[in-house]
Structure 1
Amino acid sequence: HKLSLFKQTGKVVREDDELFAEVAWQQVMIGQGLIPDDYNSIVDSLSDDQLSDLFSTLKTLINSTVAQLPTHQNFLASIKKV
């Protein structure tokens, strides 16, 4: 049911005691190549300003996370030492 719903609508059904949060389920499913045929209709309830704020916040979060990560070269150098 979880996979079918995500494939059809992009929605995630989460049970009470599941380990993964909704965003983690999205990442897992998309990472496994399961791309929704449609978008989550909750987006239609947001104004343009709300969507703009949401994407701006996401961009800031992603950029701040990336800034903390090592470069690819530095990461490879660090695992060669192990």
Structure 2
Amino acid sequence: AADDALAHEITVLHIASRRTYGVPRIHAELRRLGHRVNHKRIARVMRERDIRGVTRRKHRSLTRADTKAKPAPDL
């Protein structure tokens, strides 16, 4: 029953984070809210209920072609 209540709290936090938070951030949020829970228990509950964090990164190209440059000669 305690794991079900914890799973509900984890699910609420996970959805509020746009499904990006993993175990470390969920643990930090629960600690901030006053819950005393071990990170291993959080990891186990998340694993059992298939809740996973995602890394979202901006994809940017660092190389930009010079449009005014002359093409290399065909050797």
Specify if TM > 0.5: no
Give the number of the structure whose alpha-carbon radius of gyration is greater: 2
More helix by share: 1
TM value normalised by structure 1: 0.26
Q: Normalized against structure 2, the TM-score is what?
A: 0.28
Higher RCO (C-alpha 8 Å, min separation 6):
2
